[in-house]
Amino acid sequence: MLAKLTSKNQLTLPKAATAAVEAAEYFDVQTRDGVIILTPVRIQRADAVRAKLAELALDEDDIRDAVQWARQRVAEPDADYHAKPAAKALKPAKRKP
């Protein structure tokens, strides 16, 4: 099978190659001894959430507190809410004759 590298550094994988592996939208790319190795990767959204939580150093207590706070806001939508005053209407610009 042959794939052409475009001027934008893109490859279109032959259908036979993608059909031979598990369906994937993303591929891990590695190089070894001048060879490019593509490995299908299935991205789990839960993994992304866990990674973000780890990055933010949030723990279970933080999450529980956030959920409790959000539930209170749903139960009492006007509690601790102070709307900003409406912006003043802009006057149309005066045109010179």
Number of domains in the chain: 2
Same domain, 24 and 37: yes
Element holding 37 (H helix, E strand): strand 35-41
Closest by Cα among 39, 33, 35 to 13 = 39
pTM above 0.85, yes or no: no
- The DSSP letter of residue 5 is B
Say which residue the tokens 């209170």 belong to. 72
Q: Binning pLDDT at 50, 70 and 90, where does residue 81 land? A: low
pLDDT of residue 83: 55
- The per-residue pLDDT for 22 is 84
Rg of the Cα atoms in the chain: 27
Contact present, 30 and 39 (Cβ < 8 Å): yes
> Do both 17 and 39 map to the same domain?
yes
Does 49 share its domain with 64?
A: yes
96 in a domain, yes or no? no
Residue 39 lies inside a defined structural domain of this protein: yes
Find the domain containing 69 and state its range: 45-75
Taking only the tens place, the pLDDT of each residue in 13-29 is 999 999 999 888 889 99
